[in-house]
Amino acid sequence: MEDQSVKNDMLVRVSDLKVHFRLRRKHPMAQPSYVRAVDGVSFDIPKGSTFGLVGESGCGKTTTGLAITRLIPVTSGRVSLGDINVTDLNGEELRLARRRMQIIFQDPYSSLNPRARAGTIVQEPLKLMNILPPAEHEERIAQLFQYVGLRPEQRHLFPHQFSGGQRQRIVIARALGSQPDLIVCDEPVSALDVAIQAQILNLLRKLQREFNLTYLFISHDMGVMQHMCDEIAVMYLGTIVEQASWNDFFKQPFHPYTLALLSAVPSADTKVRGMTRRIKLEGDPPSPIDPPEGCRFASRCPFTQTVCQNEMPPLRAIKEQHLVACHLISDADSAKSLWQHMA
């Protein structure tokens, strides 16, 4: 994927976003404990671009997407959509803001009402958000079906009468109904066959070009990220450990965790990265209920030092548009030395 020119207008601004889930107390006198699902995440998304969140299961990717769209409560921080502070909205104001942001879920079958016809499913946001007069809904539904590669007459069928890829096209059509600015794509192709994945990804890119859509793309698949994203952030245990443009991310990754993720992708070009073998991480991530005081990757990093265990590394710029949270990396040369030890 070629680099795109950086756009000046930022559609989405996420600042120090935190989402903590309170756990049930074991007994009335116990201190409350929390799952720190997202713990201080910040990033911006220019209008018309695709920002990717990648990482292992449980790292906080999906929770971040749900918090941005206000489908779950935000503990603290700020999410802005254009000039609107989404985290402060409630009631009718929030309902109106949701016209501008939609979400595509991972499993197209479970996100569709099995008792409703496809046309009714796509029409639902038009009715709930008062988009267009009711007399124009049928024409709009037919138009949306054509946009996503379905025949207008298929709107009379039920979800079980479609294939997995076709069901995801219905979900995409429903997301387009409110003419949103932002679409959160939460693992939109992971439940599909590989051949169908390529079709859906190409459809999403086509729609982005036609309607100037902005995507927050969530995935654990580096190959998908390489195909879709303009900028990518790696999440680990609720925090971002590396963030870079598409070109830098795949040609010059810095963080040890990113190197390990990329080494596991058979489709990625190992010659570009300088990686010649798979890097296997030992152990499991720490618990998000009681994360370590220092670097959250320290318990699995082969280069851990005392400072890593005692101090949380800040996410700082190593070069333009390339941020890394690692005490051991201060510039490109120190990162290159790390590659040579891990390769």
Q: Summarize pLDDT for 2-26 with one digit per residue, the tens.
A: 444 444 589 999 999 999 999 988 7
Mean pLDDT calculated for residue range 194-218: 95
What stretches of 209-333 adopt beta strand conformation (E)? 214-219, 231-236, 239-245, 316-319, 322-324
What is the pLDDT, as a whole number, of residue 6? 43
Domain ranges, ordered by start, for the chain: 245-343
pTM of the complete model: 0.90
More confident residue, 50 or 260: 50
Helix H or strand E encompassing 63:
helix 61-68
Mean pLDDT calculated for residue range 166-175: 96
CB 18, CB 37: distance < 8 Å: no
Q: Summarize pLDDT for 291-313 with one digit per residue, the tens.
A: 998 999 999 988 888 999 999 99
pLDDT band at 271 (very low <50, low <70, confident <90, very high): very low
How many angstroms from the chain centroid is the CA of residue 275?
26
DSSP 280: P
